[in-house]
Structure formats: C-alpha cells, structure tokens
Amino acid sequence: MREIYLDNHATTRVDSRVIEAMLPWMNDEFANAGSHTHGAGRRAAAMVEQCTERILGLLGAPNHELVYTSGATESINLAIFGTFSHPKQTRRGLLVGLADHRAVLDCAKRLKTLECSGPKLSGQKLGDQSYSVDYIKVKDATSQQAGAIDLEAFQEALSDNVAMVSVILGNNEIGTLQNIEPLAQACRNVGALLHIDATQAIGKIDFRAADTQADFISFSAHKFYGPKGIGGLLVPKDKLRLRPQIIGGGQQNNLRSGTLNTPGIAGMCRALEVATEDLPIEAQRLRILRNRLWDRLFESIEGLGLNGPPIEARAIQPAQSPARSCENRLPGNLNVRFPKVEGQSLMLKVPQLALSSGSACSSSDPRPSHVLQAIGLNDEEARSSLRFGIGRFNTEEEIDEAADRIVAAYNELRLFVA
C-alpha cells in the first residue's frame, strides 16, 4: 500500500525545478562566495547578490536587508536575542502570542533567564535589569478568528518598555492567518519593534513585507518546496541594531558569520520564484483539496470537529485573485478533532499516511498541543486532534484514499471505546 504524504507543514518535497537550479553550485561552480581572489569565488558571490535582490523583490521588501540563516529557527533566535543583547537596547519587554511556534516561545523562555546586557537607565534598580515576557492570549475556538491575537489583550500589554513584539503570521497547526496591520500600527505608536514568523505563510499566500510594516521577518525555504538548511531573516535597513549570535569570519556585514550555503541560496531563490508564479492557481487548488478532505471526513464521522478558523463552503467561487480568500486560514491546512479517539492511536492505524498531531518540532513532546490549549481546548480534545498539511504534489485521488483510510481506522477504533 502506497504512502501518502500529508505533512507539508512540517516540510515539503524539494521541487525538481529547484534541484535543477542548485546542481551547478554543487558541481561545477562550488567555490566559496567569500573567496574574492579568484573568478570562481567572484561568480559565486555574484550569484548570491543576484539571488538576494531577486528574493527581496519577490517578498516585496525594498526597505529590508536579507540575512541568510540555516532556517527560521535560527532567524527567530537572531531577531530576538540579537535585539535584546544589543548594547544600546534599553527596553526590557517582549510580547509573544500564546499560539506562536515553539521556536519563539522557547526563545522567550530563555530570555527570562538572562541578565540584561544593555545600559542601566537612570533611576533603575538592579531588580529592574531582568527581561520581562508577556504571553498574549488568542481568540478561542468559538471565534471566526480562532488562534489570532486578542487585540484588546495586546493593547493592554503593550507599553513603552516593550522592545519587541513577535507574532506568527500563519499558524503551523491550525492555519490561522494573523491580521498584522493593527499590531504594526500599535507597535509604531509605542516605538516597539515587530517580528513576524512568516515560516508557514511565505509561498502560500500573497505576501509583501512592505504591506506588513514589520521590522523583522523570519522564514525557511523547506516550507515552500526548497531545500532544508537555508532560510532568511529580513532586517530593516535603518534599524540594524542586532548583536550577531554566530561570530567568526564577519560574513553578511557581521550579522551572521559562516560560509554561505550557495546551493541552498540558489535553491531558495528558485523555490520562491516557482511558488510566486504558481500561487494564484495553487492556493485555489489546495483549498479545493482541503475542503474535499474535510467534506468526506465530516460526512462519515459523527461529531467531527474543526480546529481553527472556519473554511469556505464546498463550492469555491472564482476570484480575481485566488491567492487571496475570505478565509482566515492557510489554504492547505486542516486540523480535525476526532470524538472519543486519540489522534496518536488513529495515526498508528494508518501508518501509510504521513500525518501529525501538531508541530514537527514538538512531535516528541507527550504533552497536548499548546496551540490547541491556547484556543481553549481541553486535554482530551487536544489529544484527539490531527493536522493535515496538503501540498503541491498531493492529488485528488490521494485525498480520497486518505479519507477512506482514516474513516475505516476511526470506525475500527470506535468499536473499542463504544
């Protein structure tokens, strides 16, 4: 029985067009882009410069610089720790959403244990030198914007001591798309920096950095059919107050040392080009497949629950820009709650389906999903949920086959708990 991959939020298959773009920089043009003393190195450096300009253009980021990293986790670490450890940083507060990715939440947890490296302000006591972290609640499961930042709670927590606000643009578990504009405006009003974790959103929705008005934006190539081990952090040209977290060599204006991953950069650039070119049609196709899966499951399993924002009706009307939708959800995301059956048990019954019960970064954690708990689900409801990530290479036939297997497995399990 064939395996069907439905875990495209965890990672995606590298597109053949991307592999083709990477191969020359692995074989014939393998030089270090930092070796400016010979032609091979200069050619590699020129490619990196061209890719950088292309990526910034595709992301609509004319006011940003691009720092290449190993992926979004490193980008997030650089944005947060690089900001708070900068010697001129006088603010101490960080705000993050309760439903953010573990890469952000774990940085916040670590930050609280560190001593401030910035200057002590006049009149401050020694106890005031610790960093503060506030976790902002999100809309609950009954809301049309389940998982989005609660703006009222956000406004209450925002103050002139907040150095940075970090929010997730597209939630990796329940697919919620955050409306960034009011958050950005509030941040500007108090002079706080805004970091966006755009890992799941870039390549999946119509995205332009300039429209978000964010200061820092993190992303990974392997989420949009590029290679693993390469990502980026967009940093503002006029606010380069970051202390590097990786030193030794001074590459990338001393913001992130280390030999540049030239094949990865070429691959990320090509992956973003393909995703941008295909976006209008692909986003619509993913919604149709996602809705088809939901309809088949819902019709066969009594009491099935949808986690996260609502999805459109079955008949998706053609739109002028299909990449944009009235939905507040990533097009390929479906998070489903199965009554009276644990998600892990259900996955064991369908080993040929690549699924997950939450973030890949937390798959070894036995605790229920913190995202599902953040929207108000209890432990039993959270443990009974599964995440489906539908992607570029999934077909209608696979969706139907996956639905049939899940329904059969669910019915078998229900016999033991009836």
**Vertex 6 angle, CA 382 and 390, to 5°:** 95
pLDDT at 122: 45
Q: For residues 305 and 149, give the distance between their C-alpha atoms in angstroms, rounded to a whole number.
A: 22
Contact assessment for residue 33 and residue 45, using Cβ atoms and an 8 Å cutoff: yes
- From the list 19, 51, 56, the residue with the least C-alpha distance to 33 is 51
Contact assessment for residue 351 and residue 322, using Cβ atoms and an 8 Å cutoff: no
Q: Which two tokens stand for residue 30?
A: 């393998």
- The per-residue pLDDT for range 182-191, each reduced to its tens digit, is 999 999 999 9
Q: For residues 174 and 176, give the distance between their C-alpha atoms in angstroms, rounded to a whole number.
A: 6
- From the list 392, 372, 390, the residue with the least C-alpha distance to 381 is 372
Q: What are 17-22's contacts with CB under 8 Å, separation 24+?
A: 17/270, 17/274, 18/225, 18/226, 18/227, 18/267, 18/270, 18/271, 18/274, 19/267, 20/270, 21/266, 21/267, 21/269, 21/270, 22/227, 22/263, 22/264, 22/266, 22/267, 22/270
Contact assessment for residue 28 and residue 405, using Cβ atoms and an 8 Å cutoff: no
pLDDT at 318: 39
Establish whether 361 is a catalytic residue: yes
Q: Say which residues have a Cβ less than 8 Å from residue 36's Cβ, sequence separation at least 6.
A: 42, 45
Catalytic residue from among 116, 187, 326, 361: 361
* Complete domains list, the chain, with CATH: 4-11+279-417 (3.90.1150.10), 16-272 (3.40.640.10)
pLDDT at 123: 46
pLDDT at 327: 83
Q: For residues 156 and 85, give the distance between their C-alpha atoms in angstroms, rounded to a whole number.
A: 25
pLDDT under 70: residue ranges of the chain? 117-129, 239-240, 313-326, 358-366, 417-418
- From the list 159, 149, 141, the residue with the least C-alpha distance to 98 is 149
Going by their DSSP bridges, the two strands 93-97 and 162-168 should be labelled as: parallel
Q: For residues 189 and 167, give the distance between their C-alpha atoms in angstroms, rounded to a whole number.
A: 17
pLDDT at 117: 63
The secondary structure of 150-200 as a DSSP string is -HHHHHHH--TTEEEEEEESB-TTT-BBP--HHHHHHHHHHT-EEEEE-TT
pLDDT at 308: 96
Q: For residues 300 and 408, give the distance between their C-alpha atoms in angstroms, rounded to a whole number.
A: 10
